[in-house]
Amino acid sequence: MSKPFGRVMVAILALVAHAEPTWGAHWYVSPHGHSAARGTRDRPWDIKSAFAGRREIAPGDTIWVRGGSYVGNFESTLAGTANSPVVVRGYPGERATLDGARRADVAALMIKGPYSWYRDLEITNSSPVRVAKDPGSGGPRGDGVDNYAVGTKLIDLVIHDAANGIGHWSTGSKPSNTEVYGCIIYNNGWEGPDRGHGHAIYTQNAEGVKTISDCIMTGGYGYSLHAYGSSRADVNNYLVVGNIVYNADTFLIGGGKPSHGIRVLDNILYGVSMQLGYSAPHNDDCDVRNNMVINSKLSINKFEKVVNEGNVIIGEGGPRPKGTRVILRPNKYDHSRAHLVVINWEKRPEVKVDPGTFLKAGDRYRLLDPKEFFGKPVLTGSADGRPIRLPMKGEFGVFVLIRTNDEK
């Protein structure tokens, strides 16, 4: 019995080793960088030439984006491999902002290179125009991110005041295998003469899996999640896990063409309806488990195979539980960060929040409003082994908890 077990363990270890990314050189860009520079910390590149995929940049390399404002509409053709992605990442402790205000028809960041990751950046549009007078002319601002490539990851981005926060488009017959993780997406869209337009995430998918996980979505003019298409567009193979959506519009997965491979797990919606299925005459399968929908409803439409388990639905004005419920979701890419939901059923002015093992005695922390991620904290302190005493207004609160031990 030991020999087969040994072979199985070797196979498993080989798979794990194969899946672990490998990392290479470090490069730097800054708002004052230059294409003729060396890409070093003291002689950084400009961001446009770096995104163009300079010959110096190889799979596994990291490009550090120094703080400041990058105004323009940038196309990234950076290309890694499945085991060695190229990583574009905001420099620690600095606020790097991509501002797509120059053009209303193009995203601030267009991703066309496969296996590239984008982390810890702010992406926005500073145009003051929020109203479109002609319903056929499109919006007055471009998307935050438009992704057309396979194997990409969007991690811990702060995306706000764009058209769609993220346009996450189908890669056709190529398996997408993409991930949107930990992003804060708010106040996107615009007002048209007919209705509000623009969504937090607008997405379609055919082959491979699109994972949308642990994001915070709020505000805006259109839907929150808008996984939608016409009778000719695919909305298949979604894993949607652990997202927090509040004070926004419908959380939709479904379109005019039958959908399959839909998994929706552990999401928390407040004042937002969850809708699976749209106008398609039928859909294949969905797995909907352990979601919480407060002050709204869950609808599952025309699916032939449905797993509907553990979901908590509390309609507006319906009876409330007693006490307080605290949900803490640590970030899998940044171990100093977690998303925190506090449901204050009795609307007490102060609640006690147990951070569990995320904060140890002596750890310093900041508690942030997601929409003021770069602003003044809601609360700062040092953990002493006791629950955090958190001032609250109302029934529902969402926060980003940052452990600040390593910050200067």
- Give the pLDDT confidence of 239-248 residue by residue, as tens digits: 999 999 999 9
More confident residue, 407 or 277: 277
Are residues 304 and 279 in contact, defined by beta-carbon separation less than 8 angstroms?
no
Hey, is 265 helix, strand or coil? strand
Residue 230 structure tokens? 């016409």
More confident residue, 194 or 358: 358
- Label residue 2 by pLDDT band (50, 70, 90): very low
Homologous superfamily (CATH) of 21-314 is Single-stranded right-handed beta-helix, Pectin lyase-like (2.160.20.10)
Amino acid letter, residue 23: W
Facing residues of 86 across strands? 116
Distance of alpha carbon 194 from its chain centroid, rounded? 28
Average pLDDT of the chain is 93
The pLDDT of residue 6 is 35
Closest CA relative to residue 234, chosen from 211, 209, 210, 207: 207
Amino acid letter, residue 142: G
The pLDDT of residue 20 is 67
- Label residue 263 by pLDDT band (50, 70, 90): very high
The pLDDT of residue 407 is 78
Residue 90 structure tokens? 């905001």
Angle CA 38–78–64, to nearest 5: 50
d(C-alpha 166, C-alpha 154), whole Å: 10
pLDDT at 14 over 50: no
DSSP 8-class letter at 205: B
pLDDT at 369 over 80: yes
The pLDDT of residue 137 is 66
The pLDDT of residue 136 is 66
End-to-end CA distance of the chain: 55
The pLDDT of residue 406 is 76
Mean pLDDT along residues 294-320: 97
Residue 11 structure tokens? 């196979």
**Rounded to two decimals, what is the model's pTM?**
0.94
Mean pLDDT along residues 125-139: 83
The pLDDT of residue 16 is 40
| Burial group, residue 86, by CB count within 10 angstroms (0-12, 13-18, 19+) | buried
- Label residue 13 by pLDDT band (50, 70, 90): very low
The string of pLDDT tens digits covering residues 322-368 is: 999 999 999 999 999 999 999 999 999 999 999 999 999 999 999 99
The string of pLDDT tens digits covering residues 39-80 is: 999 999 999 999 999 999 999 999 999 999 999 999 999 999
Tell me the three-class secondary structure of 222-245, residue by residue. CCCEEECCCCCCCECCEEEECCEE
Mean pLDDT along residues 181-204: 96
Q: How many CB atoms lie within 10 A of CB 232?
A: 8
The string of pLDDT tens digits covering residues 285-305 is: 999 999 999 999 999 999 999
b/e map 149-181, b = 16+ CB within 10 Å: bbbbbbbbbbbbbbbbbbbbbbbeeeebbbbbb
d(C-alpha 210, C-alpha 221), whole Å: 24
Mean pLDDT along residues 121-129: 95
Are residues 149 and 120 in contact, defined by beta-carbon separation less than 8 angstroms?
no
Q: Which fold has domain 324-403?
A: Immunoglobulin-like (2.60.40)
Give Cα separations from 43 to 23, 66, 387 (angstroms).
Answer: 22, 12, 47
Q: Are strands 178-181 and 225-227 parallel, antiparallel or unpaired?
A: unpaired
Which residue's entry shows tokens 């899996």? Answer: 209
- Label residue 3 by pLDDT band (50, 70, 90): very low
Q: How many CB atoms lie within 10 A of CB 219?
A: 19
* CATH 2.160.20.10 boundaries in the chain: 21-314
Facing residues of 62 across strands? 26, 87
